[in-house]
Structure 1
Amino acid sequence: MSTSDKERLPERGLADRDEASASYRPALRTIARLIATDRRAVLLASESCEVLLANTPAKRLGLDSARLQDMLDWPHLCTTVRRAGSAPVSLHLERLSVEGELVYLPLGRVAGYLLRLSENDDEATWLRNRARAATLLRVAHDLRTPIQSLLATAEIVAAGGNGDAASLGRLRKAADLALDHIDNVLAVVRGEQPAGGLHPDEVFSPCDELEALAEVVRPIAETRGATLTLTLPQDRNTHVVGPIRFVRALFQNMIDNAVKYGGASVEVALGMDPVSGSLDTLPEGTRGLNLTLEVRDLGGGLPDAQKRRLAVALGQAQPERASGDPKRPTASGGLNVLAHALHQLGGHLEVQDRMDAPTGSDRGSVIGTLLRATFVLPEASADEDEASETDPAAEGALTGRVLLVVEDSPSSRGWLVRVLTEAGARVETAGSGAEALKLLAGPRGRDVEMVLSDVTMPRMNGAELARRISSGQDSGLYQRDLKLVGLTAHVDDTIVASCLAAGMQRVLEKPIRPGRLCSAVLEELDGGAHQAPDTTAMPAEVTDAIWDKRVVADLVAVMGRKDTTKFMTRALGEARSALAALQRDGLTESTGCTLHAATGACGLTGLALVVSRLRGLEDALEAGPDALGEPMQALAEALEITHNALENGMDSLPQA
């Protein structure tokens, strides 16, 4: 990085956007020097994913704004990092997989995000394995409570001599929670869950989550002779947006520990209050809710040693070492899970002695412990609340179904997984035909009922994948009743005939709207055979508009405006990367597939103007390099227009 690069930072990006930038110039110069001298790939980016500084290793990897948005869900990642302070990151760069960390740097009224990647493959492997092991330990620990609840409920049912509806309901809830944890364990073991454990934030009701967990823990309390009382806010229908898995882990461990060690009575209370003022941890323009969970018990109070272990787990104290023993004391699994969840939520924990009623000048004696966890999450908008009530998942159209999505476009793959998962399906994914065949031949492929594959993929296209699956069905390698459905951004008679001849039952044309996708999948699973493609292609009158209003309105209805914008941003990044690769490398064997993948992703998210220009560029490929100048310029202009429209905010999107 040159001196001029370093000095340019205060003039562009962060510093000039803050009227008090002068006080942050020394910090920015220090950051610039650290980035320039680091051997690892390091860069500083803004919340809009503009790369403000990048050292030579980062530039060598081609880590520009377009590539970061293509490989990462940048808006969600920034939300996570603002909340937790940092987050692990995994990047797959051609044949290289690297691990790293994104760190939040608050600089006045603006923010920077520092990305630092592993130095070599050995370090990346070590980081990935360490993260996976930590996730396994946390998930495995939380398995204990639902399993204990199953056993306790079974004992209660056996002692009573009959299985009443309430007891059977507890059994089902405990079993569902246990199976959910087991699925998480298996996902980590199989390598399906990212090393950092990042998942999209979800809309959920804290009251519903707490009530469900209390019902799971209640049988354990009953067998221990303890009573568990629950107090919830008056407005129980309030929903928030956040990492539900960490909220569950926090709630579960606080209640579980109190029930096990808290004596004859455990009181649990949840509070939710609007946050006054603005917080750095909340996205701009978002209303926050301050969530407080209090757990009071009568266990005689926490011993000093236990309080210290809790402080160590929370990072508030250093662990003690016994004299002559270089090893640190063994950490508590439950306390570490609680502390990790709290850290990911950006919250804090208070530990107080619970006193009996004082008499006269006596302050009373310690009779128990009060734990109070506090954290802030955004309140779900009206759009998100409405979407959570009307999306296909609420109807459960595909509940219990197991599908495999084969798609080389990260944006399209994410969109398909989101829509199908919300409709109740369990979705496996593959980024190529070879990966799909390997999955289908293994244990994970035994339950798959349908393969939805992109038709145009590099190396092995959808028709060839269908031929290999059909051949494997004849030989017994794959299930005979496995359904095959194609997805393509361009449908013509030749493509359809090729796909059907290869063994596909149906071809769907992108963009396909969420409701129609779920209906088509359900129809095929139920035995419907269709020879003609289902098409929802954009009509001519919208190809010069920025949005396909029909597609966008459907997405907003299902996902809400915020998540719709996230998917649009990722698709836009994919199109920008495709154009950048063409400008940098010229025509290559992969150009057609890259442009096709971007066309499909932008079509699924309703980016009509970009889709129109991408298709124009695809048509020009056949004429050779000399014909690409004007279509490339038209695509660049469409990308800029669409980017500016998205930057203007969600209000510019069509209404649902």
Structure 2
Amino acid sequence: MLRNRSRTATLLRVSHDLRTPIQSLLSVSEAAFSSSDSDVATIAEGRERMRRSAELALSHIDNVIKVIRGEMTPTELQVDEEFDLIHELRMILDMVEPIASARGAEILFADVPQESIRVRGPVRFVRALLQNMIDNSAKHGGTKIDVALSYKQAGTDPSKIDVTVEVADLGGGLPLSQKNRLMRALGAEDVSDTACDDTKKAAQNDHSRPSAGLNVLAHALAQLSGRLEVLDRAQNGGVAPASPEDVAGTVLRAHFSLDAATNLAEPNTPLPQSSSDSSTILAGIGVLIVEDSPSSRDWLVETLKRNGVRVRAVGNGMKALEILRRRDADQDIDLLLTDMTLPYMSGVDLARRIRAEQASGDIAWQGKMLGLTAHVDDRVRNACLATGMVKVLEKPIRHAQLCQAIRDALLPPATASKTPKALPEAGTMAQTPDASPTVPQDCETEHAFADDIVAELIEQMELAGAKRFMQRALSEAQAAHDDIRAEGVRTDTGRMLHAATGACGLTGLTLLEKALRGLELGFDNGSTDLETELLALENALSRTAVAVDHLG
């Protein structure tokens, strides 16, 4: 009964959050089809808005599917992601704006930092919180909605960032009963109010359930360990109305904390060089990474930033297209590095879309493209090269090989031919005093690692950093296993396995990578009985977890 009740609550939140992107798409469509203006530019703009709304809807559907997986699998395991808080807020505003515009309202995104705010945390709950705060005002908040965001270091802890998001509208203010339903959903006390005794008594006796939107907002904020202020907005824009007649709208002010991202250095400031490659030949080059595996994506970001590269990273092709359509893309991005197996569209499909939009003039960017995959064969390689990619790289790729491939793609032959530092032969241990991982022999974890890859990872990122990346790859593999056990084989299973396989390969988890590849092979062959492969994966997960825990 409790499990069913929990699933019902999850589906309620998911269904509610899907209404906004779909309603946004409908608003854009109605505006386009109801217009009698036959101007070519206006038609093109309407078509672009429809495409944009459709892509945002698909992106949002992917987000809520992740929430379902996280809340309905036995372990409720969801890996935190590194993301740009400003980008997420702008994406929500782009999605909600057509809804507000359809009723003649304007959303102003004024008091917000212009720079990126790179953080790490449960991005799915941040999106849900932002959407429901802005969505409610867009639908009911009068003709003007002001959105503001501020952030600061949390006390003396540089690893934490305190975030405040404020949404202020002119919708006439929330009734006391609705304020109290919201506060009860948040587990807080009722709002004190200057209303007459009869009004307060009626509000206190109102035991109606919070709306779906309030439930979603409260759930997201609880997951972020945040708090919410519900304030009245005065006619002059302040939050201290002189009287009930002076109330012009409502201010929702959310406070929560997130971890600072691991790569918060300014884009043009190279990180300290790794001892494995002291070259600065890549310094200043801009690379856009498209990779759906969070741990693989972060490994690529960390590796390239250590060589002076200015890096941006996204999780799917739609976000990559959004960035490449910007006017400054040609100045900021020299190379696109994309995985082949992605949600919505493959790496090949992404490259084809880029070429098509370059031909139509929608994308002015003319940089180079490199492919990256855990499974490369002639068919994949030929398909990639046919789209104009320079080369297809195979996972697991080593630090020096990745840098060399970027050099070869971008720099003149005389410069690019510089040979990277020699790597140890596969399966051997690099002889560096600080990079030799040791594991107690009585743990039965021999052969859990690719020693050379692990040694290089430790040399680059030190032991704590290496273990963090390995544990995240282990978590991705565990999540893929749990999803198959809970839901069976689904359309997205192959992509999840591919992402986990690549992450384990990059971080040297050989035993786990082998087990995942066996499961992938069974899936690709259409096998209906994967029990043997799943048991092998469970054994590898257990042994690898012990090995990582004892590493060093």
Note the C-alpha offset of 1:190.
8.2
Tell me if structure 2 keeps the 8 A contact 1:294–1:370: yes
Match of 1:146? 21
How far apart, CA to CA, are the structure 2 residues paired with 1:188 and 1:276? 31
Match of 1:261? 140
Note the C-alpha offset of 1:271.
1.0
Match of 1:137? 12
- Cα distance 1:151–1:373, how it changes in 2: closer, same or farther (>3 A)? same
Match of 2:428? 539
SS in structure 2 opposite 1:236?
coil
Match of 1:117? none
Match of 1:176? 55
- Cα distance 1:155–1:564, how it changes in 2: closer, same or farther (>3 A)? farther
Note the C-alpha offset of 1:277.
3.5
Q: How does 1:557-636 map to 2 (within 5 A)?
A: 564-569=466-471, 605-606=507-508
Match of 1:215? 94
**Structure exhibiting the larger radius of gyration computed from Cα positions:** 1
Note the C-alpha offset of 1:331.
3.1
Note the C-alpha offset of 1:308.
1.4
Q: How does 1:446-485 map to 2 (within 5 A)?
A: none
Match of 2:390? none
Instruction: Give 5+ residue unaligned stretches, structure 1.
Output: 1-125, 279-285, 400-412, 427-446, 451-482, 487-507, 521-534, 574-599, 609-634, 646-656
- Cα distance 1:229–1:197, how it changes in 2: closer, same or farther (>3 A)? farther
1:249 aligns with one of 128, 149, 157:
128
Give the residue type in structure 2 aligned to 1:339.
Answer: A
Note the C-alpha offset of 1:222.
1.1
How far apart, CA to CA, are the structure 1 residues paired with 2:62 and 2:234? 42
Give the residue type in structure 2 aligned to 1:140.
Answer: S
Tell me if structure 1 keeps the 8 A contact 2:113–2:149: no
Note the aligned Cα RMSD (angstroms): 5.6
How far apart, CA to CA, are the structure 2 residues paired with 1:261 and 1:183? 27
Q: How does 1:62-461 map to 2 (within 5 A)?
A: 128-158=3-33, 159=35, 160-161=37-38, 163=42, 167-183=46-62, 194=73, 197-278=76-157, 286-317=158-189, 329-357=208-236, 363=243, 365-382=246-263, 395=288
SS in structure 1 opposite 2:117?
coil
How far apart, CA to CA, are the structure 1 residues paired with 2:7 and 2:299? 27
Deviation string 1:184-205 (CA, Å, 9 cap, x unpaired) is 5566778996357542211212
- Cα distance 1:201–1:420, how it changes in 2: closer, same or farther (>3 A)? same
- Cα distance 1:362–1:276, how it changes in 2: closer, same or farther (>3 A)? closer
- Cα distance 1:267–1:336, how it changes in 2: closer, same or farther (>3 A)? same
How far apart, CA to CA, are the structure 1 residues paired with 2:123 and 2:549? 36
Tell me if structure 2 keeps the 8 A contact 1:289–1:377: yes
Tell me if structure 2 keeps the 8 A contact 1:296–1:371: yes
- Cα distance 1:365–1:543, how it changes in 2: closer, same or farther (>3 A)? closer
Note the C-alpha offset of 1:144.
0.8
Tell me if structure 2 keeps the 8 A contact 1:510–1:537: no
Give the residue type in structure 1 aligned to 2:252.
Answer: L
Aligned length: 356
How far apart, CA to CA, are the structure 2 residues paired with 1:367 and 1:229? 17
Deviation string 1:57-81 (CA, Å, 9 cap, x unpaired) is xxxxxxxxxxxxxxxxxxxxxxxxx
- Cα distance 1:377–1:302, how it changes in 2: closer, same or farther (>3 A)? same
Match of 1:592? none
Give the residue type in structure 2 aligned to 1:539.
Answer: T
SS in structure 2 opposite 1:143?
helix
Deviation string 1:7-38 (CA, Å, 9 cap, x unpaired) is xxxxxxxxxxxxxxxxxxxxxxxxxxxxxxxx
- Cα distance 1:141–1:551, how it changes in 2: closer, same or farther (>3 A)? same
- Cα distance 1:339–1:542, how it changes in 2: closer, same or farther (>3 A)? same
Match of 2:534? none
SS in structure 1 opposite 2:254?
strand
SS in structure 1 opposite 2:92?
helix
Tell me if structure 2 keeps the 8 A contact 1:295–1:370: yes
Note the C-alpha offset of 1:267.
0.8
Note the C-alpha offset of 1:179.
1.6
How far apart, CA to CA, are the structure 1 residues paired with 2:103 and 2:463? 47
- Cα distance 1:221–1:300, how it changes in 2: closer, same or farther (>3 A)? same
- Cα distance 1:318–1:153, how it changes in 2: closer, same or farther (>3 A)? same
Give the residue type in structure 1 aligned to 2:144.
Answer: S
Match of 1:84? none
SS in structure 1 opposite 2:109?
strand
Give the residue type in structure 2 aligned to 1:221.
Answer: A
How far apart, CA to CA, are the structure 1 residues paired with 2:38 and 2:124? 36
How far apart, CA to CA, are the structure 1 residues paired with 2:74 and 2:152? 34
Instruction: Give 5+ residue unaligned stretches, structure 2.
Output: 192-200, 272-281, 302-312, 318-344, 349-372, 377-392, 406-423, 438-450, 476-501, 511-542
Note the C-alpha offset of 1:565.
2.8
Most deviating of 344-353 and 158-167: 158-167
Deviation string 1:162-198 (CA, Å, 9 cap, x unpaired) is 6556544443342223223434556677899635754
- Cα distance 1:213–1:197, how it changes in 2: closer, same or farther (>3 A)? farther
How far apart, CA to CA, are the structure 2 residues paired with 1:562 and 1:233? 35
How far apart, CA to CA, are the structure 2 residues paired with 1:344 and 1:192? 12
Note the C-alpha offset of 1:346.
1.1
Q: How does 1:506-517 map to 2 (within 5 A)?
A: 513=398
How far apart, CA to CA, are the structure 1 residues paired with 2:298 and 2:7? 24
How far apart, CA to CA, are the structure 2 residues paired with 1:191 and 1:299? 35
Note the C-alpha offset of 1:263.
0.8
- Cα distance 1:132–1:266, how it changes in 2: closer, same or farther (>3 A)? same
How far apart, CA to CA, are the structure 2 residues paired with 1:337 and 1:556? 44
Note the C-alpha offset of 1:332.
0.7
Deviation string 1:218-274 (CA, Å, 9 cap, x unpaired) is 111111111111124345222111111111111110111011111111111111122
How far apart, CA to CA, are the structure 1 residues paired with 2:21 and 2:474? 43
SS in structure 2 opposite 1:382?
coil
Tell me if structure 2 keeps the 8 A contact 1:398–1:420: no
Note the C-alpha offset of 1:134.
2.6
- Cα distance 1:362–1:228, how it changes in 2: closer, same or farther (>3 A)? closer
Tell me if structure 1 keeps the 8 A contact 2:374–2:395: no
Give the residue type in structure 2 aligned to 1:307.
Answer: K
Give the share of equivalent positions with the same residue, in percent.
Answer: 42
